[in-house]
Chain A
Amino acid sequence: MKYKILTSDDSKMVRVIVARTFSPFNCEILEAGTGTEALEVVAKHSPDLIILDITMPDMTGLEVLKTLRANPVTASIPVVMLTAESANKTVEEADRLSVSGYIAKPFKPEQLLAQVKSIIDLQPA
């Protein structure tokens, strides 16, 4: 199965690192640079997993997450937060919204890979 993974981050640098991390695997990487764009990509492509930043220009990652959870079609998509914001309150809020993982930036690609592999069964390309 070819999984679809959406990386939503306003930084191209992070999206490049994420795409590179998963390039040896049989998956398709979708990209979004804003929260609004992320919701559009979700509606159009139904990703199997979302890697979500918090600080983005239009909507925060937590607002995107709330929107996803409020919609029965997208409520159960696994979401891994990948963000520099790791204050206890923020992590607790993400936890209440049933995130599958929370990775604080700066991060190592292998950390992200291990987290995603614990959620979906990625196979080499």
Chain B
Amino acid sequence: METRDKIREKYNLAPRNSSMEKVKKLLQNAKSISLEQISAIVAADKNLCRRAYAIAFPGRTDVPETQMDAAAAVSRVGINILVILALGNILNSTVIRTFETMTQMGLKSGNPLNCLKSEDEYITGCVSFHGKANGMIYMVFEDGLAEKVYGSIYGKSQIDESQRYLVHDTIGELVNIIAGNLQSNLCDAGLDCKIVVPSVSRMEMSHMNRPPGYHHEVFVFIYEGSPCWVHLLVNPECC
């Protein structure tokens, strides 16, 4: 067993998940790995394959999973986008686990087509990461869901206005946990980066910082009918 594995075991820290191993494999072998080998990695992960296919062939939404050509998708999207898609898998499972553990709220993945109205204001938490990987994570909440999150921690169904900062603190910590997990996975894959302290504000989605060229993925989660959106923006050049 490697020393690193022993230290993780010493502190009962979970081993890295399979999506992470895929990212690592893709990054470590980016220059020498063949298209067939990459396609085999992608084909073995249905979720990754489906998302790569959707980006490669945006018009072909009716193709059954069994008929998706992983090699064709890989050759179209390229290794950098595949790495980001694999990161998206990690993000997706981390969001669900974070809410389950910290707030006892069982979120379910929703339909990404359930879009925000860009002119509306939402409570938005943001954490950016900088280094060999650069990007940012936004978590966007409708007021009602943000209040439910606050209620799950403080046991109150209504927010006293003087305590509204606690809603922001709670959202900030949740996005910090999610970004911290992603950053840890990036570092272990060889993309050392640091995260900054989260910021939380009310904002219109049209004011979200979308640096040109960054790959942008949106995940939707639903709790008791209320949606929460998680935006992952990553500079593909660093991957």
- Interface residues of chain A, those whose CB is within 8 Å of chain B, are 10-14, 16-17, 55-57, 83-92, 95, 101-108
Contact = CB atoms under 8 A, between A and B. Distances in A.
B197 interface: yes
B170 interface: yes
Contact of A92 (B4, B100, B181): B4
A87 B183 contact: yes
**Size band of the interface chain B makes with A:** 20 to 34
Interface string B141-177: 0000000000001100000000000100110110011
Contacts of A103: 11
29 contacts: A11-B172, A13-B153, A13-B170, A13-B173, A57-B197, A84-B176, A84-B178, A84-B179, A84-B184, A85-B180, A85-B195, A86-B181, A86-B184, A87-B183, A87-B184, A88-B4, A88-B188, A89-B192, A90-B184, A90-B187, A91-B7, A102-B13, A104-B184, A105-B98, A105-B177, A106-B98, A106-B100, A106-B177, A107-B101
B33 interface: no
B11 A12 contact: no
The DSSP consensus for interface residues of chain B is helix
Interface of B: 4, 7-8, 10-11, 13-14, 97-98, 100-102, 153-154, 166, 169-170, 172-173, 176-181, 183-185, 187-188, 192, 195, 197
A contacts with B: majority SS: mixed
B169 A13 contact: yes
Which of A88, A101, A107 is most buried by chain B, counting CB atoms within 10 A of its CB?
Answer: A88
B2 to A, nearest CB: 9
Contact of B183 (A11, A56, A85): A85
